Amino acid sequence: MNNLLSFTVVAALVTTAGTLLGLVLKEVLFARSFEQWKLRQSLREVSRKYREPIALSALELANRLSRICDSYPPEYLDSQLLNIDAPKSAVNSADDPYYKRQMLVSSVYRLSSFLGWIELYRQDTAFLEPDAKSAISRVSTAIYALRADLADDQLIDKRDWEKWRDVLIFREEQRAIGESMISTSGANRTVIGFSEFWDLFLGDVPTSRRRWLNVGSVFLLDPQPEKDFRLERMKRMVVHLVDLVECAAPGRLREEHLRAREKWRYSTAERLTDNL
């Protein structure tokens, strides 16, 4: 009888332990696996949603910055062009005032548009924790480098720093410019097109959005022929923009993008130190 009772107690304990273990597996391990699955799904959705627009805006900006670097300082970045009245092109020439103004505004648009897509991406990934080896993590690393290109003050040490012209766009300002480029329609959010940007940037009515776009434009306007550190920042940006596209959508890269990256990869520090 005692043996039977002992067996019954042991069986009850085993059954209880098994039940508790099952509950632990269900409530803890399975729940954790489900949360990890949801995170992976969210990361895939963000990647699918933003990789193409980020890559395209990055390439458009890289193309323009590379062109600016090749002809620095280009005439079309003269701020006086914003004040001219040229409703249409008069001659088919790079010296045409309308052409120059269009190039100026489109340059500002490409920078602002890129910051707009980066801000949308930042907002949608703010509460996600991607794996360090994931594509999103690599994209975030490339974006961090680009923010530093625009925001970090003295990227190199120079004895004659005070003689150099430089313009920064701080990280908070980059976010504000990006926010100014976002258009919301219901649940859909995107970056405004060039037509709307043209009216907003060149309009007569001062708004907070236009104020931040002006902050971004100063980075590009009125380049100096000598000792203008913005040139070095733009070269760094070309390198990091191509790096970003390589992470987000490598199929978008063409041979000229890779050549431009190699052309400007030679570090600013080495180049300018040689000239000191």
Residue-wise pLDDT for 152-168, tens only, equals 876 666 667 778 899 99
Tell me the β-bridge partners of 165.
228
Backbone φ and ψ for 180, nearest 5 degrees, come out as -70, -20
Instruction: Give me the pLDDT at residue 147, please.
Output: 96
* Helix or strand run (H / E) with residue 182: strand 182-185
Give yes or no for a contact between 36 and 131, defined as CB atoms under 8 angstroms apart.
Answer: no
Give yes or no for a contact between 245 and 128, defined as CB atoms under 8 angstroms apart.
Answer: no
Is this model's pTM higher than 0.85 or not? no
Q: Is the pLDDT of residue 103 over 60?
A: yes
Q: Which of 186, 43, 192 is nearest to 115 (CA)?
A: 192
Residue-wise pLDDT for 43-85, tens only, equals 566 667 888 999 999 999 999 999 999 999 999 999 999 988 7
